Amino acid sequence: MIPRPHIILLQVALFSGLLFPAQSEERKVQPFPVDLSVFEGHKSLLLDWSYADSIDAKTIAVKSSNTIDAEYRIIQELEPEQSRYLIQNCEIGLRYFYLIEIEDHFGNLYTSDSEVPVFGSCMIAADTSQFDPHISTVQELILSEINNSVRNMDPTLDIDPILRLMASTNSAETAWLKEIPFNVLKNIESEVSAINEVVNRSSFLESIMKKELLYRNQVLLIPNEWMDKINSAFSLMNNRWTNLFKQYEKSLLVLFQMPPIHILGAKPLEDGQKDFVLQVVHEDLVDLEESYLLYGDEYLDLSSFAKDTSGLISVPAPGHWTYADLMINGIFHQRFPLWIPRPVSNTMEGDLLPSDNVYTIKAGLEPASAWFNEMIWSPKTMKLDLEASGVPGFDDHYAFILQDQFVWELDWEPGFEIQYRDSSILLDQAIDFPVLLSWNKWNEDQWEPVEYMILDSLPMAVHRFPDGKTWSELNYATLGSTNDPHLNEINTELIPQLFVLYQNYPNPFNGLTRLTFDLLEDATVSLYVTDAKGRVRDVFVEDQFMTGGTYNYEWSGENRSTGIYFFTIQAQAGNFPPAVMSRKMIYLK
Domain ranges of the chain: 25-121, 138-257, 264-340, 370-488, 499-587
332-353 pLDDT, tens digit per residue, is: 889 999 999 999 999 998 999 9
pTM confidence score: 0.71
Is 70 exceeded by the pLDDT of residue 31? no
Stretch 315-328: mean pLDDT, rounded? 95
Rounded-to-integer distance, Cα 455 and Cα 459, Å:
8
Helix (H, G, I), strand (E, B) or coil at 261: strand
| pLDDT-above-70 percentage for the chain | 92
CA distances from 552 to 407, 513, 527, 541, 586 (A): 41, 10, 11, 12, 18
Predicted local distance difference test score (pLDDT) of residue 434: 93
Between 562 and 30, where is the model more confident? 562
Stretch 278-295: mean pLDDT, rounded? 94
CA distances from 365 to 325, 349, 414 (A): 23, 8, 24
Query: 264-340, what's its fold?
Result: Immunoglobulin-like (2.60.40)
Is 70 exceeded by the pLDDT of residue 215? yes
Chain center to CA of 202: 33
Is 60 exceeded by the pLDDT of residue 231? yes
118-141 pLDDT, tens digit per residue, is: 999 999 988 888 899 999 999 999
Predicted local distance difference test score (pLDDT) of residue 586: 87
Predicted local distance difference test score (pLDDT) of residue 23: 41
Of 74-78, 173-177, 534-538, the least confident: 534-538
Q: Considering the domain 370-488, what is its CATH architecture?
A: Sandwich (2.60)
Stretch 411-416: mean pLDDT, rounded? 87
pLDDT band at 15 (very low <50, low <70, confident <90, very high): very low
pLDDT band at 16 (very low <50, low <70, confident <90, very high): very low
CATH number of 499-587: 2.60.40.10
Taking residue 409's Cβ as centre, other Cβ atoms within 10 Å add up to: 13
The beta strands (E) that lie in 466-533 are given as: 470-473, 499-501, 512-519, 523-531
| pLDDT-above-90 percentage for the chain | 66
Is 80 exceeded by the pLDDT of residue 25? no
pLDDT band at 485 (very low <50, low <70, confident <90, very high): low
Is 80 exceeded by the pLDDT of residue 397? yes
Predicted local distance difference test score (pLDDT) of residue 488: 53
Yes or no: say if 513 and 507 are a contact pair by the CB < 8 Å rule: yes
Is 80 exceeded by the pLDDT of residue 541? yes
Rounded-to-integer distance, Cα 201 and Cα 148, Å:
14
Strand bridging mode 292-295 / 118-121: unpaired
Predicted local distance difference test score (pLDDT) of residue 580: 81
Stretch 222-226: mean pLDDT, rounded? 97
Q: What is the average pLDDT score of the chain? A: 89
The beta strands (E) that lie in 195-318 are given as: 261-268, 274-280, 292-295, 298-301, 312-317
493-499 contacts at long range (C-beta below 8 A, 24 or more positions apart): 495/576, 496/520, 496/521, 496/573, 496/574, 496/576, 498/523, 498/571, 498/572, 498/573, 498/579, 499/523, 499/525, 499/569, 499/571, 499/579, 499/581
Rounded-to-integer distance, Cα 186 and Cα 171, Å:
20
Stretch 543-566: mean pLDDT, rounded? 89
Q: Find the DSSP H helices in 296-452.
A: none
Residues facing 111 on adjacent strands: 101
Between 14 and 363, where is the model more confident? 363
Same fold, 25-121 and 370-488: yes
Yes or no: say if 68 and 62 are a contact pair by the CB < 8 Å rule: no
CATH number of 25-121: 2.60.40.10
Half-sphere exposure of 285 (CA within 13 A, CB side): 13
Stretch 265-272: mean pLDDT, rounded? 94
